[in-house]
Copies of this chain bind each other. A is one copy, B any other.
């Protein structure tokens, strides 16, 4: 068992007040009257409303962040008790599901109030929504259309505009309390990975390996094993996102496990590779190449640099190692309340890292036709460069023998 100290759950009101002050100042910069949020992680970030109930797709949930005044939640009655435990005070609710008005009248009222206050204070009437890249609106499109009609009937000047970048940029930079949770879950899972050969043996099926791994992670202290993909194959694998199957691990196999476990809503996301018996030399070479690529990505991870810098640092190593291609599309990404968050370590992502940015480094390559090797670690960017949140993988592939 690990001797890690579990961080306190939740956050003090001061943290939410600060988050809200930051987004309010951004709203004013961008001349927005309010922002309307609909997704689990955006709403959790600003309210502390953490629940697995989001898995039920039936009910919409709304949060209005006004540029003047306090946030307004417009949510189904079933969530009021849970949300009231946090810092939110203005929680309006209706019995959902509803046949004709699933929260839209209440939401219209909340937005009209917010726009009226903003108009009086600053003249702003636009409402920001998440309509940009890598985002979606978790509400029925028919209700979004109805909302537009309602608001336009109230005031022709009200328009929806894209505000995706505001939330993306704010959430990219983590607070010390967030980093503590991220470090805890990454360290906990590191311990499980380091002891893998204690509970995984040749002859087990991929499905048995997954089950054993999940039980170990729960036993060691994660809240949930929300994401686990991978599998084993001869001398390397070809698919890293399929569910576990009935194939048994045998001599010459390479096993990858890539997991997103959570603590208090915060994710780790990293992988480990393992060999069984005599593994083809090309897989050993590929392991060392992706490990070295991670080293170089780590060195490039500092304030002022960009995901594109990380991409090039890692890609140089992989190209020299003879990479045939890459089907993943990027070499890592942001990490936090979601398994993957913006930005992406691609050739083109020029988001600027700040102190507190949390990223994964995930160099991957096809090292022989149909054979992949993917490695991943979690880091946080500090004033002096990067620090690992996960405990670094071994520089050579661990072998079960």
- A residues contacting B by CB (< 8 A) are 9, 50-53, 55-59, 76-82, 85, 95-99, 102, 129-143, 162, 211, 214-215, 218-219, 223-229, 238-243, 245, 260, 264, 327-330, 333, 338-340, 342, 344, 346, 348-349
Contact = CB atoms under 8 A, between A and B. Distances in A.
Contacts of A162: 142
A99 B99 CA distance: 39
Given A97-B344, A136-B137, A138-B136, A81 B333 contact: no
B133 A102 contact: yes
B142 A344 contact: no
B140 A132 contact: yes
A355 B77 CA distance: 33
A42 to B, nearest CB: 11
B77 A242 contact: no
Nearest to A372: B81
A383 to B, nearest CB: 28
Nearest to A138: B136
Contacts of A225: 224
A186 to B, nearest CB: 17
Contacts of A239: 81-82
B97 A329 contact: yes
A224 B229 CA distance: 12
A242 B133 contact: no
Contact of A344 (B58, B137, B214, B245): B58
A258 to B, nearest CB: 10
Given A57-B340, A78-B328, A218 B226 contact: no
B241 A78 contact: yes
Contacts of A138: 136
Nearest to A222: B211
Contacts of A229: 51-53
A78 B134 contact: no
Contacts of A52: 226-229, 241, 243
Given A55-B227, A77-B329, A95-B327, 7 more contacts: A9-B245, A59-B134, A59-B329, A80-B327, A99-B349, A136-B139, A142-B162
A208 to B, nearest CB: 11
Contacts of A85: 242
Given A57-B338, A57-B340, A242 B82 contact: yes
A98 B135 CA distance: 13
A239 to B, nearest CB: 4
A135 to B, nearest CB: 6
A160 to B, nearest CB: 9
B132 A137 contact: no
